[in-house]
Structure 1
Amino acid sequence: MSQSLPKLPSIQRVFLESIASSDPEGRFIEVNGIQTFYKLSIPQKHQQLLQQQQLIPNEPNKPVILLLHHILGNQYTWRLLMQPLADATGCHVIAYDRPTFGFTERPTHWEEGKNPYTQEASVEFVHQLISALGYEEKKISFVGVSAGGSISCRFAIKYPNLVHSLCLLAPSLKPEDQGPPPIGRHILGSAPGRLFLKAALYRYIPLTTLYHDCNSIPDWETVVKPNYRIPLTLPNFYESLSWLMKYFVPLEILPLKSYLARLPILYLSGDDDKYTHVDNHIEIYEEIRSVAPPDAKLEFKILNNCGHLPQDESPEEVFNSIVAFLNRVGI
């Protein structure tokens, strides 16, 4: 009787795993057939128990904190927040590379109805990831920046019973803020658009216009910029980004804002956000607050000398704001 040979991993998977192996804190897990790169930080007191071969205490009411990065970002953007958040809250903290970005696999084929490059697929991917990691019994405290904020909000609208709270950093909630206009998506989703992405992105990523002053970030030229650029050199990046644009449909969020307003929300905006002006953030927050119940736990804060990516420019203030907020709403 003949035996079938074991299925070999794709060249893309082998390459991604080889490159990612230089980061000892990173891990891979298969989620819906996609090899997904993520990092997990647990409180140091839990690490000490594990080193002593003791059980970690069961804390069923503690949420898991999930960090969602922006378009053209990756989990590296949370480097200054992960362990501090775990230690300060006693929660497990997860950051992952969304499909298309970072070291996560970029599928080139998919079954009908299972396109991984739609916005709704990004929302469902959160559900699948949390289950794959074994946290399906816990509620999620989201920390999402820009497009990560829109995915967090859409998840909260669809699965409110699974959400503990939302910490939104310069979130992209209006349709026009979530991505390029339809004509831009059409062009970038075409073969010529793909060539344009290849010619332009590596030179300009990370986009300095997303910051108040990128040169104020420690090790910007020597460490930070290269870590944002490395994924752009990996297999199928430009193809998958082009597909993301081709199939992009903005998430419906603000028409369903009454669902969001029932959840605890911390909304942070930089005073020098050149992508979504602070006045627009204030308008969106007030729109959500206008439909909130009397006992709603909603907070808004403006960060001084800060652009569209507060976790990079103002990590300490972001950390303090999140921890104080979570303590107030109960964690």
Structure 2
Amino acid sequence: MTDTVVQQSPTRRGRRPVWEENPTAIGQGFKAVLLGLLVLSVLFPLWVILVTSLSSRETIAEAGGLVVVPKGIDTSAYATIFAGGAVTRALWVSTLVTVIGTAVALTVTVLAAYGLSQPRSLGYRWLLAYFLLPFLIYPPLVPRYLVVTGLGLKDTIWALILPPAISVFNLVVVRGFFQGIPQELLDSARIDGASDFRTLARIVLPLSRAVIAVVGLFYAVSYWNVWFDALLFMDRNDMYPIQRVLQSYLLAGQAPHTSGGTTGVTMPPTESIKMAVVVLTVAPIVAVYPFIQRHFVKGVLIGAVKG
């Protein structure tokens, strides 16, 4: 009896497409052009904003409102902004809210995520449903306003920090990362007599630096960009964050005074002043992101290996 050997054709599952295995000059050129257009679409608006903020009123008028090609450098817009005091105060408020808020939010998120990642926790399923419910049903504005006002948080930085102190999305991300840590490591720590807090501090957190850095950046950007809560809970102009002041510049055409309870009207800002405020608003995030980018890449690689 002879054995019949059936030669199976190699499967294409898991193989790269033909155009990726044998790239042509035309294909490479097309991808380079496409990538270049994508980069240009991102950098061009930033370039126009920066150049306009450093241009004189005459140059902006000649260009029709937005300057693409610079004709000299004029920093009078930045001098006017910092001389007024409103933007300086707003930058300080936003920095304070971002630093304190990110620390509070990370602490709450990490503690909640660690507790929800342990099935042995008391009331595990009920707590998980409690945290996930706001993700499905967003709380109405009126009860939120009444709670913040009733706690005496209005016109304080805590009105901007405590309501968004925990994000369900970030909580789910951190919880999923904690669940990927081998349970044997946690069990060995408990056998050695380590408490839950010691296990979290000595084992879980050092292994989770990538996801904590990413979630921390999410929280920092969220706190830095807060303006709607300031619109609801801030009546004092000297407690406005930078985004609220930016809204006054761009939409109302006026800058709020830093003293008093009502918004005063000064000379309408020029286009260069508006763009200068935009630059000051975006610059901190642009400056910090390159230092966090490697954690994004590391987090993606770790997730890919675990998957």
Q: How would you bin the TM-score normalised by the shorter chain?
A: under 0.3
TM-score between the two structures when normalised by the length of structure 2: 0.23
- Larger Rg over CA atoms: 2
TM-score between the two structures when normalised by the length of structure 1: 0.22
Query: More helix per residue: 1 or 2?
Result: 2
Task: Name the structure, 1 or 2, with higher relative contact order (CA <8 Å, separation 6+).
Answer: 2
Query: More strand per residue: 1 or 2?
Result: 1
